[in-house]
Chain A
Amino acid sequence: MTAFDDAVPARPRAPARRPAPRQAAPLPWLKPGVFIGALAPLASIALRASRDELGANPIAQVENELGLTALILLVASLACTPARRLLGWTWPTRVRRELGLFAFFYASLHVFTYLVPDQGLDWGVIVEDVTRRPFITVGFLAFVLLVPLAFTSTAASIRRLGYRRWNRLHQLAYLAAVLAVVHFIWRVKIDVSQPLIYASVLGALLLVRVAVWARQRSARREERRPGASGPATSR
């Protein structure tokens, strides 16, 4: 369904009638630029920590910033394919894996901050939080879903799993993002306007996906109809 960036081997059943796609411009600066930019939230935390500028409750501050950064990067990584579908941009697809891995990186730091500085590895409290506080339960599920995605993000994994299965697996990123947004909504004491912004962006991205999927499905059905002169039945 998606053309993953340089990690994807040639599509197995690509129709041969289309001319070979032109070699895309190399844009050698794109990935390093995104890499450095994505480190900014971490650098900002480090800088403010060294200057004692994280406010009265630095642990909560850092925990929240890391969580929010993870969510933003996760949503950004999910926007890459819709951007190609809607706007014809292919460059975001090239940084999709990078954005997804950075989302996981920040989510891991967020969870680490919760476990170690915040709860002091008090497993009794942690287990109670995960099982009895709904907002932490869904955050935990979101994180659990991100782990296999991060570990199968390599080209070798795509080859091993086969593109279709790999792609199916990686659609879980949507579920993880939905859970992360619910985590955010439930965590807020009263004013959910900020989390709702992320919820609506995510909803819009999901809608694009569903629309594309529905169109492809009906197109496939069209092809399979006996007597239809689609490329698959024309011989």
Chain B
Amino acid sequence: MRGPGKRAGVALWGAILGEGRGCAVRKLPSEPPSSEITPEPLYRRRELLKNGVLTAGTAVVVGSGLLSLVGAAPRDAPEEQPLVHAAVPTARGPYDTDEPPTSYQSVTTYNNFYEFGLDKGDPAKKAHTLQTRPWTVSVEGEVAQPRVIDVDTLLQWFTPEERVYRMRCVEAWSMVIPWLGFPLAELIKRLEPTGNAKFVELVTLLDPKQMPGQRSSALEWPYVEGLRMDEAMHPLTLLAVGLYGTVLPNQNGAPLRLVVPWKYGFKGVKSIVTIRFTETQPKTTWALAAPREYGFYANVNPSVNHPRWSQATERRIGELGRRPTLPFNGYAEEVESLYAGLDLRQNF
């Protein structure tokens, strides 16, 4: 800083500090009237105070600038998620894992749901804009009777059961989640797809007003996922309507979402409004966005390399170390036979 700018700056600080004389503090005029000479100890004290204030001011500017750029301000921490109607996971069925479930707080504040923002904390903060009633599900395509079903009607057809499943995200972290739901197979049987139905396609709501993330072009909206018919009919495949014994929070895909525990989490399409039976393989969102990284099958497979994350290990949320990732996320025994003869390295 040189020239008038600097002098103005110093004078400004002087004024702020009540010195009134700007630079004169440091460079005394050549012949000051004796009445204006600041006594030495006072001068020292003022100088110290001034430097202290300026140091603190600089620190605040630099520090708050950094914190806001990094998004690390303490208030960015996720809010406490109170668990109402808490239900301890009960009777273990044949498909349940007995591993301890991930905390409700983590399950409901660490979500990839780009319709509400790209940060994993965003859905918990922003998904309150989603209106889950009234809600209808449209059944389309290769089906005996295409129709629109009210979600409450659909829920009356089945008694939700608890399923404690591992969930493995493609980003190499995992959870154990006690879902409430019913097998997709039961719904499909009721909907009576035609003999031409080889795949089922499930689609998320498209409404940028309720899902502000859809205003960004990060992905192609609406989010589309799909399964081969035999995968969809597998007893592990679940349509979830709740978790931890209570109704599904919006950020977890209310009112209705897919859970396929042997596949990466992104297959679990949320807030479903369309179920379409098709003859051809659906064009699914992530496979369209980055075809070399995400395939249609997306079976959890520690031996298929991913350019960003090693899939060999995973971090269970709530734990610090990593654990090896199991083929088909530990459900190989149940589902391996679905893929007999299929090259899983090609069809990743």
Give the B-binding residues of A (Cβ under 8 A). 22, 24-25, 28-30, 32-41, 44-45, 47-48, 51, 53-57, 59-60, 65, 68-69, 72-73, 88-91, 117, 119-120, 122, 125, 128-129, 132-135, 186-187, 189-191
Given contacts A32-B55, A44-B73, A133-B310, contact A55 B66 (CB under 8 A): no
**Max count, chain B CB within 10 A of own CB: residue among A40, A53, A129:** A40
Q: Are B64 and A40 in contact (CB under 8 A)?
A: yes
In the assembled complex, the Cα of A197 lies from the Cα of B3 at a distance in Å of: 33
Q: Which of A56, A73, A89, A90 contacts B110 (CB 8 A)?
A: A56
A24 CB contacts on chain B under 8 angstroms: 1-2
Instruction: Kindly report which residue of chain B lies nearest to residue A35, judged by CB atoms.
Output: B59
Q: Are B78 and A69 in contact (CB under 8 A)?
A: no
Given contacts A38-B66, A41-B72, contact A134 B51 (CB under 8 A): no
Instruction: Kindly report which residue of chain B lies nearest to residue A34, judged by CB atoms.
Output: B62
Offer 14 A-B interface pairs, CB within 8 angstroms, sorted by A: A25-B10, A33-B55, A33-B59, A37-B62, A40-B64, A44-B73, A53-B74, A56-B78, A56-B318, A72-B66, A72-B70, A90-B1, A135-B308, A191-B216
In the assembled complex, the Cα of A38 lies from the Cα of B65 at a distance in Å of: 10
Per-residue contact bits, chain B 37-65, to A (CB 8 Å; 1 contact, 0 not)? 00000000000000110111111111111
A191 CB contacts on chain B under 8 angstroms: 118, 216, 218
Q: Are B322 and A119 in contact (CB under 8 A)?
A: yes
Q: Are A72 and B69 in contact (CB under 8 A)?
A: yes
Q: Are A22 and B62 in contact (CB under 8 A)?
A: no
Q: How many A-B residue pairs have CB under 8 A?
A: 147
B310 CB contacts on chain A under 8 angstroms: 125, 128-129, 133
In the assembled complex, the Cα of A40 lies from the Cα of B68 at a distance in Å of: 11
- B317 at the binding interface (Cβ < 8 Å): yes
New contact pairs (18) apart from A55-B110, A56-B109, A57-B110, CB-CB < 8 Å: A24-B2, A34-B59, A37-B59, A37-B60, A39-B63, A40-B62, A40-B67, A41-B66, A44-B74, A48-B72, A57-B317, A60-B173, A65-B70, A88-B3, A91-B1, A132-B305, A190-B219, A191-B216
B62 CB contacts on chain A under 8 angstroms: 33-34, 36-38, 40
Q: How far is the CB of B69 from chain A (nearest CB, A)?
A: 5
Q: Are A48 and B2 in contact (CB under 8 A)?
A: no
Per-residue contact bits, chain B 98-122, to A (CB 8 Å; 1 contact, 0 not)? 0000100110011000100010110
Per-residue contact bits, chain B 294-325, to A (CB 8 Å; 1 contact, 0 not)? 00000000000101111011010110111000
Q: Are B77 and A187 in contact (CB under 8 A)?
A: no
Q: Are B77 and A53 in contact (CB under 8 A)?
A: yes
Q: Are A29 and B51 in contact (CB under 8 A)?
A: yes
- B290 at the binding interface (Cβ < 8 Å): yes
Q: How far is the CB of A23 from chain B (nearest CB, A)?
A: 10
Q: How far is the CB of B249 from chain A (nearest CB, A)?
A: 14
Q: How far is the CB of A20 from chain B (nearest CB, A)?
A: 14
B292 CB contacts on chain A under 8 angstroms: none
- B289 at the binding interface (Cβ < 8 Å): yes
- B6 at the binding interface (Cβ < 8 Å): yes
A65 CB contacts on chain B under 8 angstroms: 70-72
B110 CB contacts on chain A under 8 angstroms: 55-57
A40 CB contacts on chain B under 8 angstroms: 59, 62-64, 66-67
Per-residue contact bits, chain B 247-259, to A (CB 8 Å; 1 contact, 0 not)? 0000000000000
Q: Are A56 and B317 in contact (CB under 8 A)?
A: yes
Q: Are B307 and A133 in contact (CB under 8 A)?
A: yes
A187 CB contacts on chain B under 8 angstroms: 308
Q: Are B55 and A29 in contact (CB under 8 A)?
A: yes
In the assembled complex, the Cα of A48 lies from the Cα of B74 at a distance in Å of: 7
Q: Are A34 and B58 in contact (CB under 8 A)?
A: yes
Given contacts A38-B62, A40-B67, A191-B216, contact A33 B77 (CB under 8 A): no
B70 CB contacts on chain A under 8 angstroms: 41, 65, 68-69, 72
In the assembled complex, the Cα of A128 lies from the Cα of B303 at a distance in Å of: 13
In the assembled complex, the Cα of A54 lies from the Cα of B135 at a distance in Å of: 35
Q: Are A37 and B54 in contact (CB under 8 A)?
A: no
In the assembled complex, the Cα of A37 lies from the Cα of B62 at a distance in Å of: 5
Q: How far is the CB of B291 from chain A (nearest CB, A)?
A: 13
Q: Are A120 and B72 in contact (CB under 8 A)?
A: no
Q: Are A189 and B308 in contact (CB under 8 A)?
A: yes
Given contacts A37-B60, A57-B317, A135-B308, contact A25 B1 (CB under 8 A): yes
A133 CB contacts on chain B under 8 angstroms: 307-310
A129 CB contacts on chain B under 8 angstroms: 310
Q: Which of B67, B218, B318 contacts A190 (CB 8 A)?
A: B218
Q: Which B106-144 residues have a C-beta within 8 angstroms of A? A: 106, 109-110, 114, 118, 120-121
